[in-house]
Structure 1
Amino acid sequence: MSTEPLTAERILEATEEVLRRYGPAKATVVDVARVLGVSHGSVYRHFRTKSALREAVTKRWLSRTEIALARVISDNERESGPAKLREWLLTLFDAKRHKAGDDPELFATFSVLARESSEVVDAHLTELTDQLTRIIEEGVRAGEFATPDPGASAGAVFAATARFHDPGYAPEWRKPTIDAEFDAVAALLLRGLRA
């Protein structure tokens, strides 16, 4: 048995390891407990069901991207709206592309888990759209963007760039022309938003 205190964070780390090893169809709470050196009942004390554990690990995985994107907004307070928006979109694309390329097994696993955790995914998409809305609102206040409805514009920008962040497009992210295609779409969107 492990001597370290069993925390939700340790359980989530072990769950990622188990998911990477066995995939979502074969991974069990017993496997997670075995990695941690505890009984499966100990895991259930932190996460009442296997579904709750899978939702928590999915939320944790998605929140990493949210945090990186929030950093773009806060770290670049003096940047112009267009520069900040482009950097945010590029950060989102790079985060998704790295997840797909650096750890394809875990990326595939989380793509399955995301389909199971629609509420978690919906909250993630809402957070991303809210971040975009804040960037566009800042640009409107600075006179850099002209839009009567920043929220609607944020939704349109997010939809227009889906090819660069929706996991369904992951196979295209390896194409040699994908960066030029991203640049063209970003430039078009920024021209459309400018005051």
Structure 2
Amino acid sequence: MAEPLTAETILDTAEDVLRRFGPAKASVVDVARALDVSHGSVYRHFPSKAALRDAVTERWLARVSEPLEVIVTRRGKASRRLHDWLVLLAGTKQGMATGDPELFETFHELTLQSREVVAAHVEHLADQLGRIVADGMADGEFARGDAAAVGLAVLHATARFHHPAHAGEWGEPGLDEQLEAVYHLLLSGLAAR
């Protein structure tokens, strides 16, 4: 007896199909064929091709944000957590780009089509940073202010190191040192006077 078809199985297969055919050519029929089921079976879990692509994109972005949450909730100085969060985000995105450039490009193309999913991801990342900043403000390590606005500003200020639009720059020598320099600049701006 065959295993029941689950959303997770469909997403795993959809990632493989996207890797093989690319976002422009991959279809729900290709995913169904790879699963040896009818395309109607896939549509029972995902009502449209766009919904399936959004779910794949959301899952991929969760692979980025979930490990960052560990740093957000960790005890310790906010400045250290902020540093570790930025380094992990940059390292994760850069590692994805260099470790499997074809898959990274595929997901980058998907994110361009999944604007609502990406907006939610950016909001989530900014919220994580905002919570770290709020802890630093509460402890007197950072100057008081609007932690959510500061979190979003930090995310934007460090975009060169984690936004896929900059992936072509990630092989440049000295990039880690540049991130450290930006971090220290941000830290001096955040410091309580």
Q: TM-score range by the shorter chain?
A: over 0.9
Correspondences of 1:73-152 after superposition (within 5 Å): 73-74=72-73, 76-77=74-75, 79-152=76-149
1:147 shift after superposition: 3.2
Amino acid of the structure 1 residue aligned with 2:71: V
1:152 shift after superposition: 1.5
Local SS of the residue matching 1:24: coil
Local SS of the residue matching 1:25: coil
Distance 1:32 1:112 in 2: 18
1:34 shift after superposition: 1.6
The equivalent of 2:5 in structure 1 is: 6
- Of the three residues 170, 177, 181, the one matched with 1:180 is 177
The equivalent of 2:188 in structure 1 is: 191
The equivalent of 1:53 in structure 2 is: 52
Provide structure 2 residue ranges, at least 5 long, that are not aligned to the other structure.
Answer: none
Q: Is the 8 Å Cα contact of residues 132 and 154 (structure 1) preserved in structure 2?
A: yes
1:110 shift after superposition: 1.1
Distance 1:32 1:73 in 2: 36
Amino acid of the structure 2 residue aligned with 1:107: F
- Of the three residues 151, 154, 170, the one matched with 2:167 is 170
Q: Is the 8 Å Cα contact of residues 147 and 153 (structure 1) preserved in structure 2?
A: no
Local SS of the residue matching 1:119: helix
Q: Is the 8 Å Cα contact of residues 72 and 129 (structure 2) preserved in structure 1?
A: no
TM-score by length of 2: 0.96
Amino acid of the structure 2 residue aligned with 1:89: L
Distance 2:187 2:91 in 1: 19
The equivalent of 2:71 in structure 1 is: 72
Amino acid of the structure 2 residue aligned with 1:65: V
The equivalent of 1:62 in structure 2 is: 61
Provide the aligned length of Structure 1 versus Structure 2: 192
Amino acid of the structure 2 residue aligned with 1:147: R
Distance 1:147 1:34 in 2: 56
Local SS of the residue matching 1:174: coil
1:185 shift after superposition: 0.6
Local SS of the residue matching 1:27: coil
Amino acid of the structure 2 residue aligned with 1:69: L
Runs of 4+ in 1 over 4 A off after TM superposition: none
